[in-house]
Structure 1
Amino acid sequence: MNIELPALVLGAIAAAFAVFSIILAGVIGPKRYNRAKLEPYECGIEPTPHAIAGGPGNVTGQRFPVKYYLTAMLFIIFDIEIVFLYPWAIHFDALGIFGLVAMALFILNVSVAYAYEWRRGGLSWD
């Protein structure tokens, strides 16, 4: 039996569940649309006109809060961590002590990024 077969089966089950959920939501979901539902979602901030090209005097929009970018970076950090943890978990016995030390250093590195984000207030929602 191939060692990657369980991971492939799990990936196929996850993909099938995602496709099934999207199709099911479209079939049984409510079909009542109103103006508020058709508006683009702006993370709770009222939409403003975009900046007009032509110099600093023509800018009519406002700055987008940096907090959303910090939250996005946090999700990216942990997504990358998961991408590295799955193959390591599959081949843990073959890697030996080197794999354990390498993953410990990787987890330490990600923990430093998490602590930085926490100290900067990226996890508190105002």
Structure 2
Amino acid sequence: MVTIGGLITSRMIQTRKASPEKELPYECGIDPVGKSWIQFKASYYLYALVFVVFDVETMFLYPWAAKFQQLGLFAFMEMIIFVGILVLGLWYAWKKGALEWK
């Protein structure tokens, strides 16, 4: 039933025929000049990856901060260790030059 429902829904939603303008790489009204694929430096990727890692890791701090009063000393020490690991990771990324914008 799920497969049949998915097929019927996809047939109802899909566009029938795409216009030539719709198949262009850009839809801003100006014809593209040159290649539409640009090669990025690896340093941009590393910078974004470090940001995402630390952004996700700091999300683990919110539930802990909400229940800080009820958790006690053991949870406080665990969070100190967790933040210490984050600081070590930041130090390592800094040392390797992943945060340098060249």
The answer to whether the aligner puts 1:96 opposite 2:96 as a matched pair is: no
The answer to whether the aligner puts 1:68 opposite 2:44 as a matched pair is: yes
Taking structure 2 as the reference length, what is the TM-score of the superposition? Answer: 0.59
Superposed CA RMSD: 2.8
Q: How many residues align?
A: 74
Question: By how many angstroms is 1:82 displaced?
Answer: 2.1
Q: Take 1:109 and 1:71, find their aligned partners in 2: how far apart are those partners?
A: 19
Is contact 1:77–1:110 with CA below 8 Å preserved after alignment? no
Taking structure 1 as the reference length, what is the TM-score of the superposition? Answer: 0.49
Output aligned runs, 1:27-66, within 5 Å: 35=30, 64-66=40-42
Residue type at the aligned position of 2:45: Y
Percentage of pairs with the same residue: 36
Unaligned runs of 5+ in 2: 1-27
Match for residue 23 of structure 1?
Answer: none
Bigger radius of gyration among the two: 2
Is contact 1:117–1:123 with CA below 8 Å preserved after alignment? yes
SS at match of 2:101: coil
Match for residue 105 of structure 1?
Answer: 81
Q: Would the alpha carbon gap of residues 125 and 97 (structure 1) be closer, same or farther in structure 2, given more than 3 Å must change?
A: same
Higher relative contact order (CA 8 A, sep 6+): 2
Structure 1 runs of 4+ aligned residues shifted over 4 Å read 46-50
Unaligned runs of 5+ in 1: 1-32, 40-45, 51-61
